[in-house]
Amino acid sequence: MAASVEDVWALLTDTGKWPAWGPSITGVEPAGTGSAPVSGGITLGSRGKVRTVLGVSLPYVVTAFEPGHYWSWSVASIPATGHRIIPRDGGCVVTFTVPWWAPAYLPVCALALRRIERLAAR
């Protein structure tokens, strides 16, 4: 992507931005915020609920966190995606890790990457 690591990292870690790039997420409620969705950064152990496109809210927890480089999470106690940024001249490479048993989620991740690239270019 022709976007800075900082801009992409901000998109990936601001819970208020997740619905803008995550095709399966329509809302986020970080722990301790009540029922109103708010923006917030994440760190290791961050918790909350994500509202899915199916209208179901599921608990999440951030299970790994390397500031500026990588984070992963579990949703409903099931390991979910990881999000990695690799700096490159003129931008960065963004990758998602997906559990081996979830290959059907790869097209969703591909769409998310296109959305992240578009949002970071603004």
pLDDT tens per residue, range 85-119: 999 999 999 999 999 999 999 999 999 999 999 99
Integer Cα distance of 82 and 54 in angstroms: 22
State mean pLDDT over 36-53: 83
Report yes or no on whether pTM surpasses 0.85: yes
**Tokens describing residue 36:** 């109103």
Q: Measured between alpha carbons, how far is 96 from 115 in angstroms, rounded to an integer? A: 13
Token pair belonging to 79: 């390991």
